[in-house]
Amino acid sequence: MFAANSFVDTKSNLSFLGNSINSHWEYLLSRPYTLFGASLYQAWFDSPKLISLFGDTIQDNIYVEEHQNVVRRYVIKEQIETFSNTIKQIVTNDREKAKVILNKGIVLSAKAKEYAQNQTFLEIQEALDFLLNLTTHATVFSYFAYPVAKEINDEELLTLAEKLRSMSYYPLVIEKIINPLARKQFGEDYNYMTISEMIEKKLPNTKDRKDKALSGKRFILSKINGVESVNYFEDITKIIELLEKVELNSYAKGQMAYPGKVVGRVRLVLSNNPNIEFNKGDILVVVTSNPTLMPLIGKCGAIVSDEGGITCHAAIVSRELKKPCIVGTKVATHIFKDGDLVEVNANEGTIKLV
């Protein structure tokens, strides 16, 4: 349980969240986002296109920078359940609409690839409008529609959703179109701004935000009842504990992806950079795994990830390489420090300090 004083102090620092702090916040995912990147992700759910097409959205969101340029997204449990059900109703009761949305996602994905190669857009608003149209059809809908199509065994919708999930081009649009436009218009410190601040020309003090970030503080971007806030904090761990109703100590638990029991030194890897010092038998601890980390995975004694399930990248390669692996711990990257000596017991799904 929480220490009472710590709980109260942390809660008082989050007054900008209003009454929503008492809601049932649920950790959804982590992504390698700057403040600007997180605000672009939020813009997906502010999009008039998304709201008019689905008749619903996920209104309230919190983005916590858990590590430098790695953001943890929280949603209110009831809101995401309602939104998921809205998509389910479209897939099950209006199959033609679902098919139209998915097919338009495929068309927009092809355009995204073409536009990224040619830098078609000159204005950031125009580029943002295209991004939101793309993500509404190709990313958001396919993500929520895929499990429903699988559940009702609709092969055509399942094939379309799988195709979109395997050909995601929104990162290319951001990297090749939106980021260069933002940099050109707002300078090198554009990553300390939100997209809404740019569009609405409510430009913040980026030097102040940059100074806070360089001093080790981490941001929280929130959108609550339509109001956006950006705040910086020194101890982000306490905020994660409050939102997730957990206490971070020297122990983590997740899902076994491949069995085994080993002891080794933690190597905390928070970027897609395999060119770091890494010894054979070290324990690879990551937010999420991907193919760029294969040089480290090949040498590691075990894999531990915050995210993932039995079909994620870490789980698949651990089974191929027969390495102990625990996924879905949610908090391993916060509990364990680089160099910690830990025991990974994938038979039981536990990681603890030795």
Instruction: For 315-343, write each residue's pLDDT tens digit.
Output: 999 999 999 999 999 889 989 999 999 99
CB 134 within 8 A of CB 112: yes
* pLDDT of the residue at 242: 87
Tokens representing residue 106 in the block: 């495929």
CB 351 within 8 A of CB 343: yes
Query: Around Cβ 113, how many Cβ atoms within 10 Å?
Result: 14
- CA 337/CA 268 separation, integer angstroms: 7
* pLDDT of the residue at 10: 58
Q: Where are the alpha helices (DSSP H) in the chain?
A: 4-13, 35-46, 48-54, 77-93, 95-118, 124-134, 141-151, 155-166, 170-173, 179-186, 195-199, 206-214, 236-244, 294-297, 313-321, 332-335
User: For the chain, how many structural domains are there in total?
Assistant: 2
- Tell me: do 129 and 68 sit in the same domain: yes
Tokens representing residue 179 in the block: 């980021």
Q: What is the CATH number of the domain that holds 317?
A: 3.50.30.10
pLDDT tens-place string over residues 50-70? 999 999 999 999 999 998 899
pLDDT at 4 over 50: no
How much of the chain, in percent, has pLDDT values that exceed 70? 96
- Tell me: do 95 and 129 sit in the same domain: yes
pLDDT at 291 over 90: no
How much of the chain, in percent, has pLDDT values that exceed 90? 75
Closest CA to 344 of 282, 270, 271, 279: 282
SS3 call for 285: strand
| pLDDT band, very low/low/confident/very high, at 1 (cuts 50, 70, 90) | very low
Distances (CA, A) of 31 to 34, 63, 70, 307: 9, 10, 6, 10
Q: What is the DSSP letter of 324?
A: -
- CA 69/CA 38 separation, integer angstroms: 9
Q: Could you tell me the sign of the dihedral formed by the alpha carbons of 143, 166, 267, 68, in that order?
A: negative
Name the residue with tokens 């900008």.
16
Domain that holds residue 49: 4-242
* pLDDT of the residue at 277: 87
Closest CA to 147 of 92, 191, 76: 92
Tokens representing residue 334 in the block: 């916060």
- CA 222/CA 39 separation, integer angstroms: 9
Distances (CA, A) of 225 to 18, 23, 46, 71, 92: 10, 13, 11, 21, 30
Instruction: State the chain's mean pLDDT as an integer.
Output: 91
- Tell me: do 164 and 225 sit in the same domain: yes
pLDDT tens-place string over residues 76-122? 999 999 999 999 999 999 999 999 999 999 999 999 999 988 878 99
Domain boundary among 242, 277, 292: 242
CB 265 within 8 A of CB 341: yes
Domain boundary among 174, 208, 242: 242
* Strand-pair category, 261-269 with 283-286: parallel
Q: What is the largest CA-CA distance in the chain?
A: 56
- Tell me: do 95 and 209 sit in the same domain: yes
- Tell me: do 57 and 141 sit in the same domain: yes
Closest CA to 195 of 35, 32, 30: 35
- Tell me: do 154 and 275 sit in the same domain: no
- Tell me: do 91 and 41 sit in the same domain: yes
CB 193 within 8 A of CB 210: no
pLDDT at 272 over 70: no
- Tell me: do 105 and 179 sit in the same domain: yes
- Tell me: do 337 and 257 sit in the same domain: yes
Domain boundary among 177, 207, 242: 242
| pLDDT band, very low/low/confident/very high, at 135 (cuts 50, 70, 90) | very high
Tokens representing residue 204 in the block: 């913040």
- Tell me: do 29 and 59 sit in the same domain: yes
Closest CA to 323 of 283, 270, 275, 269: 283
- Tell me: do 216 and 348 sit in the same domain: no
Q: Could you tell me the sign of the dihedral formed by the alpha carbons of 231, 235, 241, 244, in that order?
A: positive
- Tell me: do 157 and 224 sit in the same domain: yes
SS3 call for 40: helix
